[in-house]
Amino acid sequence: MFSEFQKAYEYLASTEKYQSDISKRINDSRSKPLVVTEGKTDWIHLKAAYSHLKTVEDHKALFEGMDIEFLEFIDDMGDTQLCSLCKSTAKVKRDNVVIFIADADKPAVTKDLAAIPPTADTTEPVKHFRFHSTEACSKTYSFILPIPQHRELTPLISMEHYYTDDQIKSEVECSDGIKRRLYIGGEFDSTGMGDGVRCGKKSSNKCGGGRIDIIDDDVYKAEKGSTANIALSKIDFAENIAQRTVPFENVDYENFIPIFEIIREILIAEGLITE
């Protein structure tokens, strides 16, 4: 019993220290608008999309004057921590804008980061973001990932869902010679069995018809005795996408445009760029 308590305490302590470290990095940022995402790979996808899209002629107007940076971190923050960080950041007076972006998969948890719906009698343009107004003049904003057109029927999404299912399922040959890819929950039945593959207990709660959960670990060939994981980690997926390695050399990031349109709205509201 004591060992379980000790493990729980150590986890809580490490989580609080991590959140404190992240909060310090946010507060130390005082120049460019800073984008803070939920998952440990979300910023990699957004940074790669930003770098690519701003060079595309058709999108130059969208990115004109936009000069942003991303909080880079290596451990998952999670929705609850992101909400907590947003609230604490809003209490601090600062010179630069901070924008928190939450996944759309748990709306009940992240509702305080979502844009406030307009009232029926409003004549003002609809805002797709939330400004966290405090006495500190915090310049803190947030929004939930907008739903891309190809996910309108399955809107509980995370960052990986901005890619098509074919892109998500693309195989990558890893350094150990094993071909791996991300899996989607709907590829398995509720027991974790799929077409020639099986999902282990660790990820079986993400499986079942209609599920779109991203599975990046604990997947094996269905054949007896197979113990090699064939799921690609989210970090390997993100890095391969960002480096445009085969088979991701032609990813165009068009589905990410709505994210940057909201970021532009925020920068216009702050007077940092003009319409």
| Interval 221-255: pLDDT, tens | 999 889 999 999 999 999 999 999 999 999 999 99
pLDDT at site 224: 86
Segment 145-154 shows an average pLDDT of: 96
Which band of pLDDT confidence, cut at 50, 70 and 90, is reported for residue 8? very low
Three-state DSSP state, 109: coil
Query: What distance in Å separates the CA atoms of residue 42 and residue 39, rounded to the nearest whole number?
Result: 5
pLDDT at site 16: 65
pLDDT at residue 17 is higher than 70:
no
Question: What stretch of H or E contains 26?
Answer: helix 2-28
Provide the terminal-to-terminal Cα distance of the chain, rounded to the nearest Å. Answer: 60
Which has more pLDDT, 159 or 20?
159
Closest CA to 42 of 7, 72, 82: 72
Look up residue 196 and give its two tokens.
Answer: 């020639």
Is residue 162 within 8 A of residue 42, CB to CB? The reply is no
Look up residue 91 and give its two tokens.
Answer: 């209490």
pLDDT at residue 1 is higher than 70:
no
Segment 124-131 shows an average pLDDT of: 87
What digits encode the pLDDT tens for the residues 197-227? 999 998 989 999 899 999 999 999 999 889 9
pLDDT at residue 5 is higher than 50:
no
pLDDT at site 27: 75
Query: What distance in Å separates the CA atoms of residue 269 and residue 155, rounded to the nearest whole number?
Result: 27
pLDDT at residue 259 is higher than 50:
yes
What digits encode the pLDDT tens for the residues 177-196? 999 999 999 999 999 999 99
Residue for token digits 């759309």?
104
Which band of pLDDT confidence, cut at 50, 70 and 90, is reported for residue 12? very low
Q: Which long-range contacts (CB under 8 A, 24 or more apart) does 204-212 make?
A: 210/154, 210/186, 211/184, 211/185, 211/186, 212/154, 212/156, 212/157, 212/161, 212/184, 212/185, 212/186
Segment 127-144 shows an average pLDDT of: 88
Query: What distance in Å separates the CA atoms of residue 178 and residue 226, rounded to the nearest whole number?
Result: 13
Other CB atoms closer than 10 Å to residue 169's CB: what's the count? 14
pLDDT at residue 265 is higher than 70:
yes
Residue for token digits 């006495």?
135
With 0-12 CB in 10 A as exposed, 13-18 as middle and 19+ as buried, what is 159? buried
pLDDT at site 24: 80
What digits encode the pLDDT tens for the residues 79-101? 999 999 999 999 888 889 999 99
Which band of pLDDT confidence, cut at 50, 70 and 90, is reported for residue 15? low
Segment 113-141 shows an average pLDDT of: 83
CA angle 263, 265, 269 (to 5 degrees): 115
Query: What distance in Å separates the CA atoms of residue 148 and residue 145, rounded to the nearest whole number?
Result: 9
